[in-house]
Amino acid sequence: MTSDKKQWDYSQLRKYDLNFEQIPRVYYKDSKIDELLALNRPVVITGSNIVKPACERWNLEFLEDHLGNSDHTVYVSRNHVFKYYDEKKILSKSNPKGVKFKPPTRIVEMKVYEFMQKIRDWRHGDDRIYLQQSLNASVGQAIAEDFVRFDWQYVNGKQDKHNWGPLTSNLLFVAMEGNVTPCHYDEQQNFFAQVYGYKRCILFPPNQFECLYPHPIFHPHDRQSMVDFEKPDYNKFPKFKQAKGFETVLGPGDVLYIPIYWWHHVESLLSGGPTITINFWFKGGPTNIEYPLNDHQKVSIMRNIEKMLVEVLQDPKEVGPLLRTMVLGRFT
Ligand SMILES: O=C(O)C(=O)C[C@H](CCCc1ccccc1)C(=O)O
Ligand SMILES: [Zn+2]
C-alpha cells in the first residue's frame, strides 16, 4: 500500500477565481466506477494496473533511451499556456483571408534527446516545450513491451460495457512542470492515465457551455474556451462567474475518466518536476436519441447548426447577426 500521504501541497496549484468540488476517487474494483461511467460522470480510478508497467519504470531518462529515434511532435510556447489550435482551420474557406489568427504555440519536430536536453537546460524566460505524440510503432522495444502489458482487459471491459466506440489513439504527453493546457472539450471518451509526476485537472459538465464561451467552430481554437482563467474578462464573459468546476490532482497510477464533451483544464504542478501522461481516446459510440436530450447531445446539435450556417452563409461574419436576429427578443 503506497503511503497515502499527499505528495504535493496547495502552493503548487495555480489560483483561479473559481470554486471546485472534488472528483470522486474510487478503487478500480468498486462497482461505483461503472455507475459513474454509465452516467458520463468523471471519476478517478485508483489502484488499477491500467498503465502499471509504465508507472514502474518510465521517467524522462527511460523515455530518452527507449522512445526511439524518429522525430517527435513538440509544441513550443512563449509562456506556460499551450492553447491547442487546428492548423487546418487557419486558412479554411470559413476564414477566407486567413487574417489575424496568430498561433499561440508553434510545432517543432525534434528527436527525443533534443527535447530532453532542452528540458535539462531550461532557464526562466526560455520558451517552454510540451511533447504530445501518439504512441505508435516507432517506439522502442521496451516501451512496446510495457504498452502490451497495460491492463487491456480492464480497459476493453469498460469500453464494451459502456458501449464506447473504437479506441482511436493513445497519446503520450511529456510536460514541463507548470505547463497548462487551457480549458477545452474533446468529442471522445477519455481514460487519462497519469504515469509520472502530478497533474491537476479541472472539469466542467457540458451544460456549462454558456459559462465557458467556446470559440466559434470555424475558428482554429474550436472547442477551446475563450476565457483566460488567469485573467477572466467578466465584461465579455459575465457567466464565467457562475461556472462550477470539479477538480482532482492525479499522481502516478491514477486514471481519470474524462467523459466525452466535458470541459477540462490540465496543469502540471508548479515545482513538481516534469510529468508523463498517456491518454486513451475512444469514439463516443452510438447515441440512441432519447428525450429529453442530454447535455452533450445539445452541444452536438449546436455544433451542427453552426456548421450548417457557415456552409450556407459562406461568410462566418454573418453567422452571429443571423442568430441574433433569429433569437433575441423572440425566445424569451
Ligand atoms: O487528453 C486530453 O484530452 C487532454 O486534454 C490532455 C492535455 C493535452 C491535450 C492537447 C490537445 C488538446 C486538444 C486537442 C488535441 C490535443 C494535457 O494533459 O495537457
Ligand atoms: Zn482534451
DSSP string, 99-141: -S---SEEEEEE-HHHHHHHHHH--TTSPEEEEEEE--TTS-H
Burial string for 314-330 (b: 16+ CB within 10 Å, else e) reads: eebeebeeeeeeeeeee
> Which ipTM did the prediction report?
0.97
Confidence of residue 5 (pLDDT cuts 50, 70, 90): confident
pTM of the model: 0.96
In this prediction, residue 212 carries a pLDDT of 98
Please give the distance, rounded to the nearest whole angstrom, from the Cα atom of residue 7 to the centre of ligand 2.
25
Nearest CA to ligand 1 atom 13: 84
Percent of the chain at pLDDT > 90 equals 90
Tell me the pLDDT tens digit for each residue of 17-28. Answer: 998 999 999 999
Q: Which of 246, 253, 281, 282 is nearest to 27 (CA)?
A: 253
Give the Cα separation of 257 and 168 in Å (integer).
16
In this prediction, residue 91 carries a pLDDT of 75
In this prediction, residue 99 carries a pLDDT of 66
CB-based burial of residue 225 (10 Å sphere; 0-12 exposed, 13-18 middle, 19+ buried)?
buried
8 Å CB contact between 103 and 90? yes
Confidence of residue 90 (pLDDT cuts 50, 70, 90): confident
Q: Which of 241, 286, 240 is nearest to 260 (CA)?
A: 286
Q: 316 by DSSP, 3-state: which?
A: helix
Please tell me what DSSP assigns to residue 43.
E
185 lines ligand 1 (CB under 6 A): no
Q: Which of 130, 75, 134 is nearest to 104 (CA)?
A: 75
Peptide bond before residue 321 is cis, with ω within 30 degrees of 0: no
Give the Cα separation of 88 and 220 in Å (integer).
7
Q: Which amino acid is at 140?
A: G
pLDDT at 177 over 90: yes
For ligand 1, pick from 186, 217, 225, 276 the residue to mutate: most ligand atoms within 8 Å of CB: 186
173 lines ligand 1 (CB under 6 A): yes
186 lines ligand 1 (CB under 6 A): yes
**Residue 155 phi/psi, 5° resolution?**
-65, -50
Q: What is the mean pLDDT of residues 23-39?
A: 98
277 CA: nearest ligand 1 atom: 18
Q: What is the mean pLDDT of residues 217-244?
A: 97
Q: Please state, as a whole number, how many other Cβ atoms lie within 10 Å of the Cβ of residue 332.
A: 5
Please give the distance, rounded to the nearest whole angstrom, from the Cα atom of residue 191 to the centre of ligand 1.
12
Among the residue ranges 91-105, 166-180, 286-300, the one predicted with the least confidence is 91-105
Give the Cα separation of 9 and 229 in Å (integer).
21
Nearest CA to ligand 1 atom 18: 266
C-alpha distances in angstroms, 296 versus 16, 206, 239, 277? 25, 6, 19, 26
**Residue 247 phi/psi, 5° resolution?**
-140, 160
Please tell me what DSSP assigns to residue 293.
P
In this prediction, residue 143 carries a pLDDT of 97
Output the average pLDDT for the chain: 95
In this prediction, residue 20 carries a pLDDT of 96
pLDDT at 94 over 90: no
In this prediction, residue 288 carries a pLDDT of 81
133 lines ligand 1 (CB under 6 A): no
Give the Cα separation of 206 and 259 in Å (integer).
9
130 CA: nearest ligand 1 atom: 19
For ligand 1, pick from 173, 198, 200 the residue to mutate: most ligand atoms within 8 Å of CB: 173
Please give the distance, rounded to the nearest whole angstrom, from the Cα atom of residue 215 to the centre of ligand 1.
17
Q: What is the mean pLDDT of residues 59-77?
A: 97
Give the Cα separation of 29 and 47 in Å (integer).
9
196 lines ligand 1 (CB under 6 A): no
Q: What is the mean pLDDT of residues 286-291?
A: 86
266 lines ligand 1 (CB under 6 A): yes
pLDDT at 258 over 90: yes
Q: 267 by DSSP, 3-state: which?
A: strand
In this prediction, residue 97 carries a pLDDT of 66
pLDDT at 226 over 80: yes
Please give the distance, rounded to the nearest whole angstrom, from the Cα atom of residue 332 to the centre of ligand 2.
34
Confidence of residue 98 (pLDDT cuts 50, 70, 90): low
In this prediction, residue 139 carries a pLDDT of 94
Give the Cα separation of 266 and 277 in Å (integer).
11
In this prediction, residue 3 carries a pLDDT of 62
Please give the distance, rounded to the nearest whole angstrom, from the Cα atom of residue 130 to the centre of ligand 2.
14
Q: What is the mean pLDDT of residues 65-93?
A: 93
Give the Cα separation of 182 and 14 in Å (integer).
12
